Amino acid sequence: AQSVTQLGSHVSVSEGALVLLRCNYSSSVPPYLFWYVQYPNQGLQLLLKYTTGATLVKGINGFEAEFKKSETSFHLTKPSAHMSDAAEYFCAVMPQGAQKLVFGQGTRLTINP
Amino acid sequence: DADVTQTPRNRITKTGKRIMLECSQTKGHDRMYWYRQDPGLGLRLIYYSFDVKDINKGEISDGYSVSRQAQAKFSLSLESAIPNQTALYFCATSDLAREGQETQYFGPGTRLLVL
């Protein structure tokens, strides 16, 4: 079965620093890949997604992610963290033909002033 | 108004009670989902429905049932609640696009505590 691993349940960075949230998937056939964000007391919202084409995907709020097939990874980055980025981030995959999302366990991002 | 609404937002119940969580959407989407969120486990799929006549079990359907009353409404029931069903429950919707292109839209969640 397809699985998703997010390295680090908690990540803390200083305001203005680089944000790097890691996501690896297990599949011999690359799935469709997503990052969702959950702000406090809210539901999830889509940050970005990779389906086909360019492997560097840009999302909302300055985030981007790069699909690396050789590493089975889809890490999320932002060059400069802002206090408003504090949230929980979920990597998710949709195996081709499955029509269902499989979520990682989430990474809580804390921004220090 | 929110596109995906869930009621109630918070619920405390006792072991053995039957409860229903409701989800409504105004997005006109055919697909609806129920997830539960537990700390450290992410979101896990309970049930999903691709149209009014289509209901499917997810990875953790035991102890739950669903009803798709209309395109816009999808309810989740706990027939006899138990403490390990204490969790945050999310409803989501999506519209069929090209495979892999669909975005899921989430409601605000229902926080359930089973005593």
d(CA B83, CA A111): 34
Write down the pLDDT at residue A66: 95
Write down the pLDDT at residue B40: 86
Interface test with B, best of A2, A37, A51, A74 (most B CBs within 10 A): A51
Tokens 């969120």 appear where?
Answer: B37
Q: Is A76 exposed, middle or buried (0-12, 13-18, 19+ CB in 10 A)?
A: buried
Dihedral of CA A56/A84/A104/A99: which sign? negative
- Are A94 and B43 a contacting pair at CB < 8 A? no
Write down the pLDDT at residue B1: 59
Q: Nearest by CB to B103, from A46, A52, A104: name it.
A: A46
Largest Cα–Cα distance of chain B, in whole Å?
43
Angstrom distances, CA of residue A10 to CA of A101, B24, B40, B92: 22, 33, 10, 25
- Are B40 and A105 a contacting pair at CB < 8 A? yes
Selection from A33, A48, A26, A35 nearest residue A109 by Cα: A35
pLDDT tens for the 113 residues of chain A, in order: 678 999 999 999 999 999 999 999 997 777 889 999 999 988 999 999 998 888 999 999 999 999 999 999 999 999 999 999 999 999 999 887 777 899 999 999 999 99
Tens digit of each residue's pLDDT (9 = 90 or more) over B72-84: 999 999 999 999 9
Q: A105 contacts in B (CB within 8 Å)?
A: 40-42
Selection from A46, A34, A36, A51 nearest residue A93 by Cα: A34
- With 80 as the cut, is the pLDDT of residue B66 above it? yes
Q: Nearest by CB to B45, from A52, A100, A105: name it.
A: A100
Mind telling me how many Å the CA of A48 is from chain B's nearest CA?
10
Mind telling me how many Å the CA of A14 is from chain B's nearest CA?
23
Tokens 């803390």 appear where?
Answer: A12
d(CA B58, CA B48): 7
